[in-house]
A and B are shown apart, each in its own frame.
Chain A
């Protein structure tokens, strides 16, 4: 599936919920499905700055596709990163670079997108895209 298709799928899933509580509960569920980063990669270098909670992300190439693994010590943050990883993992770096993230708005998590928000969702997206840029250069 393309990033767009996956995002559409996530939007459809979230549209089933009427209130924030159900959305958050689902997000917490999604957090549990996050492909976990291997302990050896849980280093300070892989830590995303700007979060009240800790978020580690690791990226590696599988053929011409970029695969992300991650973890967080906070459950809601883990849910957010799980949604991002689901949308962006196993995709070509160039597609990740080109992808927009408006779907975050559509699933009712817009409040987390504010750059001043302490959860660092914006930093997470930036970090995923930076990995894509780095590996895109490597692929060339």
Chain B
């Protein structure tokens, strides 16, 4: 494998938090799948917004309001361009993936009837299971599950068997947050469309590693959270094809989403405002745009290549540890290593390595069905970003060994 051409040390200087110490050790941040860190360029954008042009958007005639509106709409266009979306009004700002999914699930209530079927994958995050279960309860539709194999890959033959004229919706994550598997979404989308079903792909875990080309994918809905890709928390996007967004009813009522209001009748605003009731996270939206600028300047190709290099290196090093087992060994995976050491609870490992300044995730990663599948209480999850280094991987490995010695 070729070595990266990225100047990782220079990139690290962009992230102030990477300079801090935790429990007397330099921070080794390997919980990027939960949230990524924020570069100075994005932090500066946030500070600049509040210091120079903080105002409510779309309504004011004054200069500040106009500047804020322009910046917010420019951010929408950046998102449109990045994900190769046909129209900027197909980009709906939300508070993140969870709200994006709930918006679609709630909207589909009026489209489904008893006996219809919804297909969901076995490796979903709870946020992509619970809203659909609630939708099924409201409508009498049935939830079907695409099973996975021991490697953590979806069993696609079963998926094709599950599809029928009853299938109305299919939901799957692009990348599994718990295992790192990259799912074959092209095949999933194409097959679903053949039976007339709509497809929502949860891109929360993928977006920081894979630049999705949504027009080429021909996906109906795609969701992203900014905080997983160097942006702030509390903002994300829902992409929906224009035809679907026009059909879906508004999610929440309020200001901004109306055209005309009388006490007799309200007419809704055009897209995207129909789904953006109330004052949005203006600063967050603008900062989301800045985060995309930052990552695109480094380049998604170079990022993906380097992260693969890191993951492969970490996989080799970790597998050298006695009793260590990796969960999720799919042929196609990215940036996540979920593992346990035989006889040791993941919580114990997480606690010890935290003392060494290393941040990893422990627990079920909001994907309990996966943990039930493997019959484990949870895993330790190390997840990588382009600002991590091989030296940090070495520290992780050393920390795990130390924890293992103490605990066994």
A residues within 8 Å of B by Cβ? 20-21, 24-25, 28, 52-54, 73-77, 118-119
Contact = CB atoms under 8 A, between A and B. Distances in A.
A73 B345 contact: yes
Nearest to B363: A52
A53 B362 CA distance: 10
Contacts of A53: 345, 347-348, 377
Contacts, number: 39
Given A53-B348, A75-B348, A118-B363, 18 more contacts: A20-B23, A20-B355, A21-B406, A24-B355, A25-B406, A28-B406, A28-B407, A52-B363, A53-B345, A53-B347, A53-B377, A54-B377, A73-B377, A74-B345, A75-B344, A75-B407, A118-B347, A119-B347
Contacts of A118: 347, 363
Interface residues on B, range: 10 to 19
A76 B362 contact: no
A118 B362 CA distance: 10
A21 B107 CA distance: 53
B352 A74 contact: no
B377 A76 contact: no
Given A24-B355, A28-B406, A52-B363, A76 B378 contact: no
Contacts of B362: 52
Nearest to B402: A21
Nearest to B407: A75
Contacts of B23: 20
Given A52-B378, A54-B377, A24 B347 contact: no
Nearest to B364: A52
Contact of B347 (A20, A21, A52): A52
A72 to B, nearest CB: 8
B351 interface: yes
Interface string B6-35: 000000000000000001000000000000
A77 B406 CA distance: 14
B377 A24 contact: no
A28 B345 CA distance: 13
